[in-house]
């Protein structure tokens, strides 16, 4: 089956108002909000960006989109769930909300309230069934589970473990509780070469499991406690810690897909997807840094199919960059595994028709 993807172009010179207007036009011309019904409790799934990150979706861009949703239902809100990374400012709901507000995601600026969907410390979840080879049930953040419909707004980026972070990751990882994130990451253990270690200790600070320690100014890893989140490999600039391609990374992508499947099925497919191909970066918005673009700004996509929109996003980026920029960034990570498995799990289609809106 071939799915429909809608596309509106943006450029690096576009103002925030222009991007907002184009997103409004995209919503009006597409069917991306057709699943939202009057008086639904509707979550707009966001990534508010970590402290110091400059690549995340801008609050000013989504004002018109937020109003479109609010016009359908007054019970709409912006939401995310807490993360497992110890060095992040989003490990609990208090700090997470502070960052969201600092980045402009507040009722005064966007017109919608903000909720962190898995509770103060990320412990609130509801188990929902899924028929996968890794899971029979998944741990969905409770406030997402209580909703009637979902709109996933995703900033497309590269990612050290999944190669690409798109709509599937935003739903599968982003709508799970912290326990769910642990379940997905478990198994992807990095390799350590202490001879390259300069003893900076950045990896020790960021490790959520306390699996890394400096001894005699050289790093050591306790693989029995490592969660496999990969953040240590991202912050290491000397290649003392690296993620090696193995079956475990493909398993992580499959686990993420199974979480996405369980979550989307719990909404009875009442989910829409909007992908931003603006300031596409090598790493995800969880990192507190100003990453450069790895490709020119391209635009915004909308669809009711998470597989099709992620495939279309990657295709546009590869075409613009003249190469597979995601594989170039992380050559040992096979990003296509998530799309193939998602298609096999019945999440959507790799075949799509793109309609450009102007």
For residue 142, give the CATH number of its domain.
Answer: 3.40.50.11440
Residues 140 and 93 grouped into a single domain: yes
Counting the structural domains of the chain, the total is: 2
Q: What is the pLDDT of residues 100-153, one digit of tens each?
A: 999 999 999 999 999 999 999 898 999 999 999 999 999 999 999 999 999 999
pLDDT mean over 254-266: 98
User: Do the strands 352-356 and 163-165 form a parallel or antiparallel pair, or are they unpaired?
Assistant: unpaired
CB 61 within 8 A of CB 295: no
Residues 238 and 260 grouped into a single domain: no
Chosen domain end from 204, 219, 242: 242
What is the 3-state composition of the chain as percent helix, strand, coil, each rounded to the nearest 5?
Answer: 35, 20, 45
Residue 294 forms beta bridges with which residues? none
Residue 222 forms beta bridges with which residues? none
CB 239 within 8 A of CB 218: no
- pLDDT reported for residue 213: 95
Residues 61 and 166 grouped into a single domain: yes
User: Do the strands 191-192 and 241-242 form a parallel or antiparallel pair, or are they unpaired?
Assistant: antiparallel
CB 204 within 8 A of CB 245: no
Average per-residue pLDDT for the chain:
93
- pLDDT reported for residue 208: 82
- pLDDT reported for residue 244: 63
Residues 9 and 63 grouped into a single domain: yes
- pLDDT reported for residue 247: 55
Residues 129 and 197 grouped into a single domain: no
Residues 201 and 257 grouped into a single domain: no
CB 229 within 8 A of CB 185: yes
Greater model confidence, 280 or 228: 280
Q: What is the pLDDT of residues 305-343, one digit of tens each?
A: 999 999 999 999 999 999 999 999 999 889 999 999 999
Dihedrals φ, ψ of 198, to 5°?
Answer: -105, 5
d(CA 63, CA 160): 31
CA end-to-end distance (rounded Å), the chain: 26
Q: Which residues of 65-80 are buried (b: 16+ CB within 10 A; e: fewer)?
A: bbebbbebbebbbbbb
Q: CB under 8 Å to 123, separation ≥6 — which residues?
A: 177, 178, 179
Q: What is the pLDDT of residues 16-26, one digit of tens each?
A: 999 999 999 99
Residues 318 and 178 grouped into a single domain: yes
Residues 155 and 265 grouped into a single domain: yes
Per the structure, the complete domain to which residue 209 belongs is given by 191-242
Q: What is the pLDDT of residues 57-96, one digit of tens each?
A: 999 999 999 999 999 999 999 999 999 876 688 989 999 9
pLDDT mean over 276-286: 94
Residues 260 and 317 grouped into a single domain: yes
- pLDDT reported for residue 246: 53
Lowest mean pLDDT: which of 24-28, 152-156, 184-188, 293-297? 184-188
pTM attached to this predicted model: 0.88
How far is the CA of 343 from the CAs of 35, 57, 59, in angstroms? 21, 27, 32
Residues 47 and 10 grouped into a single domain: yes
Other beta carbons less than 10 A from residue 191's beta carbon: 13
Residue 221 forms beta bridges with which residues? 212
Residues 56 and 152 grouped into a single domain: yes
Residues 255 and 285 grouped into a single domain: yes
Q: What is the pLDDT of residues 202-232, one digit of tens each?
A: 999 988 889 999 999 999 999 888 877 777 8
| Domain containing residue 222: CATH number | 3.30.70.20
pLDDT-derived band of residue 15, with 50, 70 and 90 as boundaries? very high
């Amino acid at each position: 089956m071939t799915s429909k993807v809608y596309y509106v172009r943006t450029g690096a010179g576009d103002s925030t108002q222009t991007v907002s207007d184009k997103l409004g036009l995209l919503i009006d011309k597409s069917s991306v909000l057709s699943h939202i019904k009057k008086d639904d409790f509707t979550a707009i799934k966001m990534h508010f960006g970590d402290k110091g990150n400059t690549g995340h979706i801008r609050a000013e861009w989504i004002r018109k989109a937020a109003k479109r949703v609010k016009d359908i239902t007054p019970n709409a809100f912006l939401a995310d769930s807490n993360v497992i990374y110890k060095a992040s400012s989003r490990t609990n709901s208090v700090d997470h909300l502070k960052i969201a507000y600092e980045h402009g995601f507040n009722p005064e600026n966007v017109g919608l309230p903000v909720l962190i969907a898995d509770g103060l410390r990320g412990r609130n979840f509801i188990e929902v069934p899924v028929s996968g080879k890794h899971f029979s049930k998944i741990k969905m953040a409770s406030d997402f589970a209580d909703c009637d419909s979902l709109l996933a707004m995703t900033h497309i980026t590269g990612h050290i473990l999944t190669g690409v972070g798109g709509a599937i990751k935003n739903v599968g990882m982003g709508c799970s509780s912290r326990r769910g994130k642990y379940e997905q990451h478990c198994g992807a253990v990095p390799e350590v070469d202490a001879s390259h270690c300069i003893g900076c200790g950045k990896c020790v600070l960021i490790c959520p499991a306390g699996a890394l320690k400096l001894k005699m100014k050289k790093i050591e890893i306790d693989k029995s406690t490592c969660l496999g989140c990969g953040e240590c490999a991202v912050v290491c600039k000397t290649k003392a810690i690296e993620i090696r391609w193995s079956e475990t990374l493909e398993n992580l992508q499959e686990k993420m897909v199974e979480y996405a499947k369980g979550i989307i099925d719990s909404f009875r497919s009442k989910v829409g997807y909007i992908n931003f191909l603006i300031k596409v970066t090598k790493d995800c918005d969880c990192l507190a840094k100003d990453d450069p673009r790895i490709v020119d700004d391209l635009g915004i996509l909308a669809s009711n199919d998470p597989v099709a929109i992620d495939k279309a996003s990657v295709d546009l980026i590869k075409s613009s960059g003249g190469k597979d920029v995601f594989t170039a960034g992380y050559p040992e990570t096979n990003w296509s595994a998530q799309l193939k498995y998602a298609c096999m799990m019945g999440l959507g289609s790799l075949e799509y028709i793109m309609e450009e809106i102007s």
